[in-house]
Structure 1
Amino acid sequence: MDLTAWQQDIEHWFAKHYTGGDASHDIAHFRRVWHCARQIADGQPVSLTVILFASYFHDLVSLPKNHPDRARSSQLSAQQTLSILSRDFPRFPAEHHAAVAHAIEAHSFSAQITPQTLEAKIVQDADRLEALGAIGLARVFAVSGAMNAALFDANDPFADRRALDDKAYALDHFQTKLLRLPATMQTVKGREMAQRNADFLVHFMAKLSAELAGDPDSLDVDIIRRFAAQDLPKLC
């Protein structure tokens, strides 16, 4: 089967079986990860079929951020995906099962599993790009709102005099995770995309800082200098 036919089968499976997922882990998220992964994979010696299945099923289990087993979400997703492939996708080559499972396990930031294949590296990069840019900006506040977290600490929004706490303040998540993501990217193209989208978040922070200071028509250049992407080591 070609990729279009496989994707149609996957979409049919999700329409029939998938009832989970919040606004950050719905079918639209899976589609975006797949489209992004295809861009990163362009011209690379990879199995696009493995990437397709891993992109769609990587967040099949997504425990809330405050759940004690949150770090096991990707491993649980991989386990469920293997069962689904065997039961519902009998035409999918069994020799690809392990590669799909590994790409799913390794995509997670909290699981801290190093991707060993180029397919896994691409899926990890594509998923992490969802946490940056305009979608990432929307997601961080949507998730924090669902957790009843404040948007920011009004007395110290950028944590100059306190410890960062992204469970209490949504804005803290930019420093605890989001702005660190470009350095974790596994591919050259993924890193380039991540740096551009992280810059977007820094400019949002600079705009917010200016508005909090009573200047709604400017950017706080000190925030841009402080958080602008640093030069990263070259990838092999």
Structure 2
Amino acid sequence: MNEKEIIIEIQKEMKKFFTQETTGHDWYHIERVWKNAQKIATHYPKANPLQIELAALLHDRYDHKIVSNVEQAKLEVRDLLVQHGLTKELIEKILYSIDAVGFRNGKNPIQPITIEDKIVQDADRLDAIGAIAIARTFVYSGAHQRPIYTGETQEVLEKAHELEDTAIGHFYEKLLTLSDTLHTPEAREIAKGRHEFMKEYLTQFFAEWEGLK
């Protein structure tokens, strides 16, 4: 099985696995991250495209938000890669790229090292910036009974991230911080307009909340 065939098979596996996911970490999110990664990778011809594409396709397969047993799910991913004939060295690199994707309140102890790691992390974070990111935030919040907003001022939200767990609070806790964490100039360029759109959305949101518009 050649590299293209392996990618197609993993794509099919992930599309099937995420069919019933409804919290914003669905197949369409996976697909967007995969496409983001491919787009960024075109600027880095020395990077390993197989590592990048497989890590992008598999990046949420053992995420704690998706599965109840992370270690078991990670073993399943490892076994899947073994079944497709990948070398032990490449499998470890793919798993490291996946582990480095996570945000974990900005304190993920596993940080991207290689350009492959950085491309995959950037690709995932781009999907958490912009219009789709806003939609995903509210879908996730609804799925987890998280309120939209509980009335804190913007000043309070900007200074204290550990307040009431709300959809709007999540903008300040995570979404608005992501642009500054991107590694590649290609991702940073894409993020500019998306970041500004989120700020504009919040301006409109607060104006409507106060009955000003």
Give your verdict on TM over 0.5.
yes
Instruction: Give the equivalent residue in structure 2 for 1:54.
Output: 55
Gaps of 5+ in 1: 217-236
- 8 Å CA contact retained: 1:157, 1:171: no
- Specify the alignment match of 1:82 in structure 2: 78
Deviations 1:48-105 (A, max 9, x none): 111111011111122239x9x9xx95x776544222211x312x34442121111111
Amino acid at match of 1:171: I
Paired-residue identity, %: 29
What is the Cα deviation at residue 18 of structure 1?
5.7
Q: In structure 1, how many angstroms separate the alpha carbons of the residues matched to 2:81 and 2:59?
A: 13
For 1:209, the equivalent position in structure 2 comes to 206
Does residue 169 of the first structure (1) align with residue 170 of the second (2)?
Answer: no
Please report the RMSD computed on the Cα atoms of aligned residues, expressed in angstroms.
Answer: 2.7
Residue number in structure 2 paired with 1:160? 156
Letter in 2 for 1:158: Q
CA contact (8 A) 2:23 2:143 kept: no
Question: Letter of the aligned partner of 1:104 in structure 2?
Answer: I
* 1:9 equivalent in structure 2: 9
Q: How many residues align?
A: 207
Instruction: Describe how 1:172-183 pairs up with structure 2 within 5 A.
Output: 172-183=169-180
CA contact (8 A) 1:58 1:77 kept: no
Alignment gaps of 5+ in structure 2? none
**Larger % of helix: which?**
2
TM-score after normalising by structure 2: 0.84
Whole-angstrom distance in 2 between the partners of 1:19 and 1:143: 16
CA distance in 2, matches of 1:80, 1:123: 20
Matched AA of 2:63? S
Which residue number corresponds to residue 34 of structure 2?
Answer: 34
